[in-house]
Structure 1
Amino acid sequence: MNRRNFLKSCILAGVGAPFLLDQLSTIAAAANTKILRIGYAAPVQTLDPIKTVFGPDIISQGMMYARLLKANADQSEVGPGLAESWEISSDGLTYIFKLREGLKFSDGSALTAEDVAFSFNRMRFQKDSVYAAPFQPLKTIEVVDPLTVKFGLDRAFPPFLKLCEIWNTGIVSKKTVTAMGDEAFSAKPDVTSGPFKFVEWKAGDRVIMARNEHYYREGLPHLEGIEFIFVPDVNTGVSMVQAGELDVSMGVPFARMKELEAAGVTIVSEPSSATYDMLINHAKAPFDNLAFRQAVSYGIDRQQINDAVTAGYGTAAASIFSPKLNFFDKEMKVIARDVEKAKELLAKSGVGDPSFTLLTNAGTTDEDKTAVLIQAQLSEIGINVTVNAIDPGQAWTQLVAGEYQAQLNWWYNETTDPDNAVRWCVWGAGDNKSYYTRYNNDEVNSLIDKAAGEPDDAKRAEMYSKIQRICVEEVAQVALYHPSWTSARSAAVTGLVFNLGSQYASIDEADLKG
């Protein structure tokens, strides 16, 4: 594709002129430099790691903020990060981390235990921290000396160590955040701790980053910079990779994977911890009715949706969380579609107008296909589904506000331990109201707390199995399939791994050859 055809294809896809001009200037600037250009189908909304659970925010922030620990590629274990070592007390209530000597932020200022304590205090105790839920047992954070920080827990909590690697524990500069204030920092974080430092955020377009010369891993990163770019349509993103205007396009439609591979495009499918599902609002009719929810669940053919949408790059969902997570109940079976049972449950529900509106993220091919199938499948049992494709940012806003009946969305787990997974999606006592579905079951809430503090893996497995089975029976959400992470990449990209937890874990080791 030449540049003229590229312009034409973008115009047809609805991409505006300012976007194109910026894109072309980026191409010219990056021609002879190692600037990795990554396309994603939703725009960044904030650059403050404690203020978001939105996919593009998490990915971009993972490149700018280093954490105490660093996970390996498959997230099976964590190792040293900013902390070179750590100790855990015999009762599991105290964690002491020793920082590396000579740590610096991107502006050359010292990174100390004060900054670590400040960052964790913001994340855990600040009222507008949106993902403190997994850290409930953390009660005290103490600076022992400039290189040592001590965490106090109120109960044994095995998941804690792995949690010290997730994005929202990214270390920020106490001095910078205090001086700027949260609002200014979230838009322009001038000082960062990760492999890349902030350069510019063009809202609704891209986040531009440059190599952090003071990064703690000597000789890294290899790249000179990164541009994390909002490309509204995933098919446009693939075309841009083919034309050389992007190095990576995230979220390639499954149906195009084999076609693109045959055409010579470098296609990557990586294991994920994701669950793609239909989120349902338990606080709004008709999903406040259990029999109606069950009718919908039995009326949907998960296997057909998985086969049609993922083209073999995913598995139909039997549980609310991924088979990649520890304590996944392997005995659970995918619910087989049962039209007659669904009709009986619909009649039992007594819902006078069996209909709802299903929101989808515009420009997402796989969601379009999923929505059409759900619409057709449920119409056979007498439920009318209106599909409404809207801007991803708007969809997220409505989800958080509870202004929806049903919405196609996905979630993933940051680690292989299921605690933060279940706290995210079905813990009704949490701030996010069970991934904004408003599902709340006291028994499930209690089991989640007990399982997190249980040191015996066999007992943990029993509790997580019960959680999974209750949530499927009560239709906490309609889990559809577990996808892999997909992307199209330039052949020049090397060493880039997108891990189970939706992070470019190896971004500091990634490179562009040639």
Structure 2
Amino acid sequence: MQANPSDVVGRAARFRLGIFLVGPLMALLALAMPAYAEEILRIPYAIDIGTFDPDNGFEVDGISAVNNVYEGLVEYAPGSTQIVGLLAKRWEISNDGLSYTFHLEDGVKFHDGTALTAQAVVGSLERRRDGRLVLSYMLGNVADISAPDDATVVVRLKQPQPSFLDALASAWGPKVISPLALTEHDKSDGATNWLGEHAVGTGPFKLAEFKRGEGYVLERNADYWGKSPYFDKIEIPVVPDIGQQILKLKAGELDVVPTNFPFAQLNHLPAELEVTAAPSMTQYALFIKPGSPLDNPEIRRAVLSAINPSFWVKDVFGPYAELSKSAYQNLMLDPADRIEFPSDIDAAKAAIARLGEVNLVIGLHSAKATYARISDRLIVQLALIGVKATAHVLPPGAAFALKGDPNAPDALLTISSPDAAHPENQARAFFTKDAPLNFYGRSLPEADAIVDVAGTKTDVAERNALYEKAGRLYVESGHLIPLVDVKDVVVHAKGLTDLGQRPAFPPGNIDFATVRWAR
């Protein structure tokens, strides 16, 4: 059948009219809607970031942001203490243990477009070593850093240090900063002032917004050399109060409460929230003041019977903690001969009655609820054997000024967590005579000498046996009382997965490069 010419003309006119109307409509829709819905992760920090300079601050809450903007040569694999390559794709260690040769990844660029070279790595490592910065100590054993070619970095040590790779993999380990940024912003201060609130690294995210006291924004690095992260943007408001964090999480205004969620509430979460618990090196311990009643071996044994953590660990932490096995975190070292607390309450009570009145003051390193819950249980348990104990929260920073203070508490309840996963880092941080976190300045030369030998050993079994021996001496001398190892517990909206927590990192520091929605 042949078409009517007038019908054809009519249809053509209507088609042109449709195009005329649809075109503007589509343009309006394009203006009203983004090209795609941004994926944004909203996670609060309880403590404001002091500095974004990766060499000059011991950030705790904020280290996840720093480590997603900057990268080092190596890192700990998520959920593990295994060291894997990051900017270094492989490395070799010389037979004498003094030279470390790192081969860099190809095609890496800084956020300002500058190419990563071995010379850039050398410059960053020298800044960390020589800059008299807060974290310069981590490279204190480095004698020389060189770049034989653009893709190779050689680090030579003053003396063998089997824990050196752990220092590089630490949450606070050396990161690589754009040499262009270091040069442009060096005002005779190594660019420390500028880097306090700015950043140019190689990481999967860029620092997009820094508002001190308010919050921070990271944006995905579109030119990242590795696997592209799931989230386009990370929004990090500063919310100091844990109650406010929880309210905002339940209201859908936040996606995560990364740390300090009350353990007592974890069994009563609403259906839209869930818990991710991961291995951690968070160990609660009591450090003992020289000259306190606990220096008496009989009193100490009675006290150990009363405060035996097997009596209270489930009450305080539920399924999220286990008894400490030694002076080292359970994940760091599995001892052949684990610490055993006495548990004869009647014998302890009789000993205290015989020895006379015993009073103990426990200082709490923090006002966080967990410290109070532990100290409350200790006080109740000690009362059962006739020991009168009290506890109080120390002022901020006071725990670091207890040496030689006659008014210091008899014991300090604190978390002993090292800056890396090697036993050397634990011993040198907390136990040896000059350890920066040997809170009361106690000295045990016999144990320190064993640590000196252990620090030279590359055989893991041999080194661990020595560290364990030294650790037992510290405990038996009344240096400290290890209590419990607690998991890294993160509460978040249901469906968030691959949080990338690392045991040697501070709790709550999820990896923005791996976390995603399971959709």
Which bin holds the TM-score, normalised by the shorter protein?
0.7 to 0.9
Residues 313-362 of structure 1, C-alpha deviations (whole Å, 9 max, x = no match): 1112231222211x4214213313455558858987x9x98342523533
**Correspondence list, 1:402-441, <5 A:** 402=402, 405=409, 406-413=411-418, 415-430=420-435, 432-434=436-438, 436-441=439-444
User: Which residue in the other structure is 1:442 paired with?
Assistant: 445
31-40 or 486-495: which moved more?
31-40
User: Using a 3 Å threshold, how does the CA distance of structure 1 residues 441 and 345 change in structure 2: closer, same or farther?
Assistant: farther
User: Using a 3 Å threshold, how does the CA distance of structure 1 residues 183 and 153 change in structure 2: closer, same or farther?
Assistant: closer
Measure, in 2, the Cα distance between the counterparts of 1:230 and 1:371: 29
Q: TM-score, normalised by structure 2?
A: 0.79
Indicate which of 475, 484, 509 corresponds to 2:478. 475
Measure, in 1, the Cα distance between the counterparts of 2:239 and 2:96: 49
**Correspondence list, 1:360-439, <5 A:** 360-362=365-367, 364-381=368-385, 383-389=387-393, 395=396, 397-402=397-402, 405=409, 406-413=411-418, 415-430=420-435, 432-434=436-438, 436-439=439-442
Structure 2 residue identity aligned to 1:454: K
Measure, in 2, the Cα distance between the counterparts of 1:201 and 1:287: 49
User: Using a 3 Å threshold, how does the CA distance of structure 1 residues 422 and 88 change in structure 2: closer, same or farther?
Assistant: same
Residues 289-326 of structure 1, C-alpha deviations (whole Å, 9 max, x = no match): 5657666545423122312111121112231222211x
Residues 46-105 of structure 1, C-alpha deviations (whole Å, 9 max, x = no match): 323333444214333222221112332232433321112222212222111122233222
**Correspondence list, 1:287-326, <5 A:** 289=295, 296-325=303-332
Give the secondary structure class of the aligned counterpart of 1:498.
coil
Measure, in 2, the Cα distance between the counterparts of 1:108 and 1:345: 69
Measure, in 2, the Cα distance between the counterparts of 1:42 and 1:383: 37
User: Using a 3 Å threshold, how does the CA distance of structure 1 residues 471 and 230 change in structure 2: closer, same or farther?
Assistant: farther
User: Which residue in the other structure is 2:165 paired with?
Assistant: 161
Indicate which of 102, 113, 117 corresponds to 2:122. 117
Structure 1 residue identity aligned to 2:449: S
Structure 2 residue identity aligned to 1:62: N
Give the secondary structure class of the aligned counterpart of 2:280.
coil
User: Which residue in the other structure is 1:278 paired with?
Assistant: 286
Residues 222-251 of structure 1, C-alpha deviations (whole Å, 9 max, x = no match): 212223344334344333222211111123
User: Using a 3 Å threshold, how does the CA distance of structure 1 residues 440 and 112 change in structure 2: closer, same or farther?
Assistant: farther
Structure 1 residue identity aligned to 2:210: W
Deviation at 1:398, TM superposition (A): 2.3
Q: Which runs of 5+ in 1 are unaligned?
A: 1-30
338-347 or 311-320: which moved more?
338-347
Structure 2 residue identity aligned to 1:164: L
User: Using a 3 Å threshold, how does the CA distance of structure 1 residues 263 and 407 change in structure 2: closer, same or farther?
Assistant: farther
Residues 22-61 of structure 1, C-alpha deviations (whole Å, 9 max, x = no match): xxxxxxxxx9532212234444333233334442143332
Give the secondary structure class of the aligned counterpart of 2:210.
strand
Structure 2 residue identity aligned to 1:315: E
Q: Does 1:458 align with 2:466?
A: no
User: Which residue in the other structure is 1:25 paired with?
Assistant: none
Measure, in 2, the Cα distance between the counterparts of 1:101 and 1:203: 35
User: Which residue in the other structure is 1:336 paired with?
Assistant: 342
Whether the 8 Å contact between 2:99 and 2:156 is mirrored in structure 1 is yes
User: Which residue in the other structure is 1:228 paired with?
Assistant: 236
Whether the 8 Å contact between 1:40 and 1:234 is mirrored in structure 2 is no
User: Using a 3 Å threshold, how does the CA distance of structure 1 residues 451 and 132 change in structure 2: closer, same or farther?
Assistant: same
Q: TM-score, normalised by structure 1?
A: 0.80
User: Using a 3 Å threshold, how does the CA distance of structure 1 residues 302 and 109 change in structure 2: closer, same or farther?
Assistant: same
User: Using a 3 Å threshold, how does the CA distance of structure 1 residues 120 and 183 change in structure 2: closer, same or farther?
Assistant: closer
Whether the 8 Å contact between 2:349 and 2:384 is mirrored in structure 1 is no
User: Using a 3 Å threshold, how does the CA distance of structure 1 residues 492 and 377 change in structure 2: closer, same or farther?
Assistant: same
Indicate which of 243, 253, 263 corresponds to 1:245. 253
Structure 1 residue identity aligned to 2:247: S
Whether the 8 Å contact between 2:45 and 2:236 is mirrored in structure 1 is yes
User: Which residue in the other structure is 2:7 paired with?
Assistant: none
200-209 or 478-487: which moved more?
200-209
- Pick the structure with greater CA Rg: 2
Measure, in 2, the Cα distance between the counterparts of 1:388 and 1:40: 26
Structure 2 residue identity aligned to 1:165: A
Q: Does 1:258 align with 2:261?
A: no
User: Which residue in the other structure is 1:82 paired with?
Assistant: 87
Q: Which runs of 5+ in 2 are unaligned?
A: 1-35
Measure, in 2, the Cα distance between the counterparts of 1:288 and 1:198: 50
Measure, in 2, the Cα distance between the counterparts of 1:215 and 1:346: 68
| Structure 1 runs (4+) greater than 6 angstroms displaced | 292-295, 345-348
Structure 1 residue identity aligned to 2:153: V
User: Which residue in the other structure is 2:9 paired with?
Assistant: none
Across the two proteins, how many residue pairs are aligned to each other?
A: 470
Whether the 8 Å contact between 1:238 and 1:488 is mirrored in structure 2 is no
Measure, in 2, the Cα distance between the counterparts of 1:287 and 1:360: 20
Measure, in 1, the Cα distance between the counterparts of 2:203 and 2:220: 9
User: Using a 3 Å threshold, how does the CA distance of structure 1 residues 381 and 496 change in structure 2: closer, same or farther?
Assistant: same
Measure, in 1, the Cα distance between the counterparts of 2:193 and 2:303: 45
